[in-house]
Amino acid sequence: MNRARDVRANIPGLTRRDGLALLGTSLLPCLLPWSATANVPETTASLKALASAAGMTFGAAVGQDVFDDEAYRALVIGQAAMVVPDRWLKFDWLRPDEKTFNFTEGDHLLTGASNNGLAMRGHTLIWNDWPPEWLKKAPSSKLPYLLDQHIETVMTHYAGKLQSWDVVNEPFVAWGSDPGGYRPGPWYSAMGPDYIFKAFKRAGLSDPNTKLVLNEAWTERSDVYGLAVRKSLLRIIDEIKDRGLRIDAVGLQGHLDPSQPYDDAGFADFLHQLAERGVAIYITEFDINEAPFDGSVAERDRQSAARVASFLKHALSVKAVSTLICWGLTDRYSWYREPSVLKAFKATRLPRPLPYDDGLQPKPMRDAIAQALAERHI
């Protein structure tokens, strides 16, 4: 998805430049390694324990809040076996200018995660969305070099330390005018679809010990857009493999949008088609846009949980699905609440997309996830 723009730190009016200036000063104390003792008492089985019993990994995307909010940090440590930074390993964050590689936040998160026994995955090396201005202005002829340089430098920095990397994010966009369905942007303009093969080639050479993932949105919906992206994804996996390149997993974002048509059984069929290609399947950015649901908070939460339950029941029936990562854990810190996202989605009330509420209490969605994991027997 690409509707969020210009959101850097949940601070309205904070520009990219301001954000970077702050990084050198007042934000740094918040980036101390996590306390190894921060843990919540468990009254029910944690999501990570349930996932593990189901042969899966449960994880969560995190940002600055995991450092700033101790209770939230404890929740993440208690529930997740893996974290993924929501922004800190993206090209525009790592590369504010051509010469800089800003690993500060990614490194702090990795230290905190390792100190607490959590794995970390990387999101994302190459994405046509969110290019920094300097990249947009770079001559096309330089982009093949920049792609290799970026992947090699970043993957070497984290070599052997990350469970997986989203090598390419969102290669397709369903409503575009491109005949192959590819998402436009600097990498695609310069190299056409070859940027994808080049990225997987370089990634395979740069870190043989991490899983290489192609991450994509939209496939959960069964309208003409979702079906087109499913087809494109199957085709590109074949093409990557035909070239003898390594691809270990497909990431399906799983931003559920109940306002769009869906067909969970059809989605499971699609997952089987992916699995036949010998790739693992990760659900990488799970949450639900519950804007279409009406009624009280309790009623909307109930509908969200029902939608989540049906989706997961079908998805988790496919053995190749090995990982479930929520894009955050608590509504309080969901990307859906970032000002630009609220605006882009024309939100009329505060979204409640995640398994825990603002007070970090479990919602019915949390029960639905727990139950789907507990009932997985494959």
**Site residues for ligand XIL per CB under 6 A:** 1, 4, 7, 86-87, 169, 253, 285, 335, 338
CB of 294 to ligand XIL, least distance (A): 25
Comparing CB distances to ligand XIL, the nearer of 1 and 23 is 1
Burial call 164-198: b when 16+ CB within 10 Å, e when fewer: bbbbbbbbbbbeeeeeebbbebbbbebbeeebbbb
Among residues 64, 79, 74, the alpha carbon closest in space to that of 8 is found at 64
Nearer to ligand XIL, 96 or 364 (CB): 96
Alpha-carbon dihedral sign for residues 55, 289, 121, 106: negative
Q: How many CA atoms lie within 13 A of 372 on its CB side?
A: 24
CA atoms of 271 and 265, how far apart (whole Å) = 10
What DSSP designation does 222 have?
A: -
The least CB distance from residue 352 to ligand XIL, in Å, is 16
- The DSSP string of 241-278 is HHTT----EEEE--EE-TTS---HHHHHHHHHHHHHTT
Q: How far is the CB of 7 from ligand XIL (least distance, A)?
A: 4
CB of 123: closest distance to ligand XIL in angstroms?
6
Reference 340, options 10, 13, 7, 19; nearest CA is 7
Of 285 and 301, nearer to ligand XIL (C-beta) is: 285
Q: Are strands 164-169 and 57-62 parallel, antiparallel or unpaired?
A: unpaired
If the CB atoms of residues 16 and 246 are measured against ligand XIL, the closer one turns out to be 16
CB of 141 to ligand XIL, least distance (A): 28
Q: Is 154 within 8 Å of 190 (Cβ atoms)?
A: no
Give the nearest distance from C-beta 296 to ligand XIL in angstroms. 28
CB count in 10 Å sphere of residue 292: 12
C-beta closer to ligand XIL: residue 267 or 333: 333
Cβ proximity to ligand XIL: between 79 and 253 the closer is 253
Closest distance to ligand XIL from the beta carbon of 170 (Å):
6
Q: Measured from the CB of residue 17, what is the shortest distance to ligand XIL in angstroms?
A: 17
| Cα gap 150→261, rounded to integer Å | 38
Instruction: Write down the least CB distance from residue 1 to ligand XIL, Å.
Output: 4
- Closest CB to ligand XIL among 65 and 301? 65
326 or 370, CB closer to ligand XIL? 326
DSSP SS3 for 240? helix
Tokens of 227: 């079906």
Count CB-CB contacts under 10 A for residue 265. 10
In the complex with ligand XIL, which residue's Cβ is closer, 86 or 207? 86
- Nearest residue to 360 (alpha-carbon basis) of 79, 50, 130, 121: 79
Q: Examine residue 124 and say whether the peptide bond preceding it is cis (omega within 30 degrees of 0).
A: yes
